[in-house]
A and B are shown apart, each in its own frame.
Chain A
């Protein structure tokens, strides 16, 4: 499946963040070509995880408050949340393999108390 469901309202954002577990949020803009190219990678990682990782996308221009809160300076930016708490972020294109490594490493780091600061 090559698409991500979009969080179109603040309520849907809140609901996604309130759900337990791992969430990858692709922050994108309509005009961003690389955002379109990374979307199927993110979607595939979520599908192949069998429910362990959820994934959505969010339009930075329609959610300026969210973008400011999470200091989004470019797109695509991927935010990784665990139980609604940001634990990592990355920018630019990534392959699905790189995303799987990223998520696995960050989950492992967090379990060992080595979390980076995803807000900055």
Chain B
């Protein structure tokens, strides 16, 4: 199935994903920054696409760095949530990327599957993060369906204002990357192998 809710893997990306060795100027400067943080050759396809607008690419990379390195919530929680959002948005690139990051954050294969099944009870999260995971999915599904009772329940689990913002920004970040990859037909990175066949699985099940 192709269309609004899945990427066409048989078609090349709609923008030029300039290879690392061919990058020049501001694009090269940006690639160098990513390689310094992630290692040689690990400039993701998402940021190769973003680098068509280098200043915006840098701003978004900085935003991602802040999200994953600061705040109160665990990286495992944030990567589990972005894995779940990628599954909900049918972004095969993002499932591969965030499932790998989730594994790197200490999750087992079973916990990755639980994230793909939107089940926070099986991901090994704290009680507060389980509640925030469901809050995030509800906000993503229909933000206007959130009511005061939802927030009161989160408060009982110990969630602060910062936790709410951190959670919602994780949703925003995951969704914005899903959208960029979907709308530009950007596929999974060559340097990743974990969960890379998710798009094919969706296609067969449609």
A24 to chain B, nearest CB (A): 15
Contact residues, A62-120 vs B (CB, 8 A): 92-98, 100
Q: A48 at the A/B interface (Cβ < 8 Å)?
A: yes
CA distance A38 to B5 in the complex (A): 13
Q: B141 at the A/B interface (Cβ < 8 Å)?
A: yes
Given known pairs A2-B88, A36-B5, A40-B87, the reply for A96 and B119 (CB within 8 Å) is yes
CA distance A2 to B202 in the complex (A): 7
Given known pairs A2-B202, A3-B206, the reply for A97 and B140 (CB within 8 Å) is no
Query: B202, A97: Cβ atoms under 8 Å?
Result: no
Query: A34, B142: Cβ atoms under 8 Å?
Result: yes
Given known pairs A1-B201, A40-B88, A98-B134, the reply for A93 and B141 (CB within 8 Å) is yes
Q: A44 at the A/B interface (Cβ < 8 Å)?
A: yes
Query: B137, A96: Cβ atoms under 8 Å?
Result: yes
| Interface of chain B: mostly helix, strand, loop or mixed | helix
Task: Give chain A residues whose Cβ lies under 8 Å from the Cβ of B4.
Answer: 36
Give the number of residues in A that approach B within 8 Å (Cβ atoms).
22
| Interface of chain A: mostly helix, strand, loop or mixed | helix
Cβ-defined partner of B141 (8 Å) among A2, A3, A34, A45: A34
Task: Give chain B residues whose Cβ lies under 8 Å from the Cβ of A40.
Answer: 87-88, 90, 118
CA distance A38 to B138 in the complex (A): 10
B160 to chain A, nearest CB (A): 22
Task: Give chain B residues whose Cβ lies under 8 Å from the Cβ of A45.
Answer: 117
Give the number of residues in B that approach A within 8 Å (Cβ atoms).
23
Q: B145 at the A/B interface (Cβ < 8 Å)?
A: yes
Task: Give chain A residues whose Cβ lies under 8 Å from the Cβ of B145.
Answer: 92-93
What is the 8 Å Cβ interface bit string for chain B, positions 106-129, against chain A (1 contact, 0 not)?
000000000011111100000000
Query: B134, A92: Cβ atoms under 8 Å?
Result: no
Query: B201, A95: Cβ atoms under 8 Å?
Result: no
Cβ-defined partner of A95 (8 Å) among B87, B90, B134, B206: B134
What is the 8 Å Cβ interface bit string for chain A, positions 30-64, against chain B (1 contact, 0 not)?
00001011101100110110000000000000000
Having A34-B141, A44-B118, one finds 11 other A-B pairs with CB under 8 Å, namely: A2-B202, A2-B205, A3-B205, A3-B206, A37-B142, A44-B117, A92-B142, A92-B145, A95-B118, A95-B138, A95-B141
List the 5 shortest-distance A-B pairs measured between CB atoms, nearest first: A93-B141, A96-B118, A93-B142, A44-B117, A37-B141
